[in-house]
Structure 1
Amino acid sequence: MSKWWRTAVAGLRKTTDASRSYHTIQAIPREITGNRVSIKDRAQGRIPAVVFAQPNPSIDGGGGGSPVSSVARKHLLTTERKQIQAILNSIELPYFCSTTFPLQIRAGSGSSTLLESGTVLPIKVHRDPETGKLLNLVFVWADEGAQLTVDVPVVFKGEDVCPGLKKGGLLNKIRASLKYKCPSEHIPQKIEVDISNLDIGDKVFMHDVKVHPSLELLSKNELLPVCKIVAAKLDIAQ
């Protein structure tokens, strides 16, 4: 086991919360692509990955910089499967894809030569549909000030005291996530929706959800409901 990997594992064991400072993802470049190469990488305990600058139409050139800089910051990588799995055991999906992580790209496995580093946001985790094994990862650079599009998971709180639920109603969870344009430093890992005061028939709409003022909701209709308390006899899919 390489020195940097032992360090990363030790860091993961130091905390029981999802503290981002302990989750520095280590990666090395990959020069060749293709299915055969990816199969070989996975057999060696590595996961193919890519990191790039997310296009941002509101900024000239997209991705917080010029087209040239965006292309230059695209890297084909591989990561340690054990490390990624350890992180996923600590920060489960879908919260993994709304959490930023430090990334270090080193010259090779076990190398002390650092080629590039920065902060990244996972946007896709591909798994084998039959076995569930990790196949590849997609990241975007999340440097400070970068504007990123993020699907933020919605969680509900107050179910234990919700009047409508106490009367026998059911919680219809209409939206599992909400899409925002976020400054990278203000990306929320999750959005909490308080239902503690809802009665049967009450709804929480998108515009009711409280988030950091720098977040822009990417929805054409903010009047769409996030959840609703419905009578048990009604079809909660309606």
Structure 2
Amino acid sequence: MVQTIRIEAEAREQAGKGAARATRRQGLVPAVIYGAKLEATLVALDPRDVMKELHKGGWQSHLYEVAVKGGGTERTLMRDVQFHPVTDRPIHVDFQRIAPGARIRVKVAVAFLNEETAPGIKEGGVLNVVRRELEVLADPDAVPERFEIDLGEAAIGDSLRWSSVVNKFGTRPVIGDRDFVVCTIAAPTIDEEVTPVVVAAPEPVKGKGGKAAAKPAAAAPAAAAAKAPAKKK
């Protein structure tokens, strides 16, 4: 199951672009905690803490306890991070507060097991991944680190679907109207070798006596064939 990660934060009193710019001048990242039908909480974060989580990957499915200095602790999901267009540094973070007893909507990565021993792969097939993440509704205390699909018996032409996930951990897919495809084993692509066609030269036409007929002389240009007019004396 996903571990809850603690992030230290400082309270902010004012909202708006001007206040956010002032927070950035102090070397901090402005952030907001919203949701669960409660008033939004304005906080400021250490940019090193934000970058640490972003470098881990999968931050959208992690649980965060945002501990506000001098205040309480908010249980959240990190929903959005805005970046500076030039430096790519984080300039704002949105956290969604988790309501007690509510399911949360998260994206969970998919791991494919036994790819090297799959019959379809050994026969030259190619693993075609349709979805690398699956978006599900999950209990906040039971969010899986990843989903697994076993390719051990997958043959060429097989489609592995949501029903192929080994353990769903009590989650429910957001796409609920069908057993959607996660990956397929595609047939190998065969490049056909094109053989060049050699055109034989035409045999010479034989004349009388078995000798090859002389090629007809090329027609002289009309201007050259015409006799030049006689010069007047």
Q: Which has the larger radius of gyration?
A: 2
1:100 maps to what in 2?
Answer: 63
Letter in 1 for 2:20: S
The whole-number CA distance in structure 1 between the counterparts of 2:143 and 2:93 is: 19
Say how many residue pairs are matched.
190
- 1:71 paired with 2:73, answer no
1:6 maps to what in 2?
Answer: none
Scaled by the length of structure 1, the TM-score of the pair is 0.70
The whole-number CA distance in structure 2 between the counterparts of 1:40 and 1:173 is: 45
The whole-number CA distance in structure 1 between the counterparts of 2:109 and 2:51 is: 20
1:27 maps to what in 2?
Answer: 9
2:197 maps to what in 1?
Answer: none
Matches within 5 A, 1:106-185: 106=69, 113=70, 115-142=71-98, 145-185=101-141
SS in structure 2 at match of 1:160: helix
Given the superposition, is the C-alpha separation of residues 138 and 206 from structure 1 closer, same or farther in structure 2, using an over 3 Å criterion? same
- Offset at residue 226 of structure 1 (A): 0.5
- Offset at residue 129 of structure 1 (A): 4.8
2:49 maps to what in 1?
Answer: 83
Given the superposition, is the C-alpha separation of residues 19 and 192 from structure 1 closer, same or farther in structure 2, using an over 3 Å criterion? closer
Larger helix proportion of the pair = 1
Given the superposition, is the C-alpha separation of residues 217 and 71 from structure 1 closer, same or farther in structure 2, using an over 3 Å criterion? same
The whole-number CA distance in structure 1 between the counterparts of 2:176 and 2:110 is: 19
Letter in 2 for 1:159: E
- Offset at residue 133 of structure 1 (A): 1.6
> What value does the CA root-mean-square deviation take over the aligned residues?
2.4
Given the superposition, is the C-alpha separation of residues 180 and 173 from structure 1 closer, same or farther in structure 2, using an over 3 Å criterion? same
8 Å CA contact 2:148–2:167 kept in 1: the answer is no
The whole-number CA distance in structure 2 between the counterparts of 1:44 and 1:157 is: 47
The whole-number CA distance in structure 2 between the counterparts of 1:159 and 1:130 is: 40
Letter in 1 for 2:108: V
- Offset at residue 42 of structure 1 (A): 2.6
- Offset at residue 130 of structure 1 (A): 4.6
Given the superposition, is the C-alpha separation of residues 165 and 99 from structure 1 closer, same or farther in structure 2, using an over 3 Å criterion? same
8 Å CA contact 1:99–1:188 kept in 2: the answer is no
The whole-number CA distance in structure 2 between the counterparts of 1:42 and 1:137 is: 12
**Which runs of 5 or more structure 2 residues have no equivalent in the other structure?**
191-233
